[in-house]
Amino acid sequence: MRRPLDLSLYLVTDTALCARRGLAETVRQAVAAGVTVVQLRDPDADDQAVVAMGRRLREVLAGTGVPLLVNDRPHLVAEIGADGAHVGQGDTEPVAAREALGADRYLGLSVHDLGQLERASALPEGTVDYLGVGPVWSTATKPAAEDAIGVEGVAELALESRWPCVAIGGIDAARASDLRERVPQLAGVAVVSAICAADDVAAATGALRDRP
- pLDDT tens by residue, 4-39: 999 999 999 999 999 999 999 999 999 999 999 999
- Reported as a pLDDT band with limits 50, 70 and 90, residue 139 is confident
Cα separation, 126 vs 78, whole angstroms: 19
pLDDT tens figures, 43-62: 999 999 999 999 999 999 99
Between residues 141 and 137, which one has the greater pLDDT?
137
Supply the angle between the helices 23-32 and 201-210 in degrees, to the nearest 10.
Answer: 40
The Cα-based distances of 205 to 32, 86, 132, 173 in angstroms read 9, 22, 19, 9
Res 143: pLDDT: 59
Alpha carbon 190 to chain centroid distance?
6
Cα dihedral 33, 73, 7, 151 in deg (nearest 10): 110
With 90 as the cut, is the pLDDT of residue 88 above it? Answer: yes
Cα separation, 37 vs 18, whole angstroms: 17
Res 210: pLDDT: 74
What domains appear along the chain, each with residue ranges and CATH number?
A: 9-210 (3.20.20.70)
Q: Is 151 exposed, middle or buried (0-12, 13-18, 19+ CB in 10 A)?
A: middle
- Between the two ends of the chain, the Cα-to-Cα distance in Å is 34
With 90 as the cut, is the pLDDT of residue 126 above it? Answer: yes
Could you give the 3-state DSSP secondary structure of residue 3? coil
pTM of the model: 0.96
The Cα-based distances of 36 to 16, 53, 163, 191, 192 in angstroms read 22, 19, 18, 12, 14
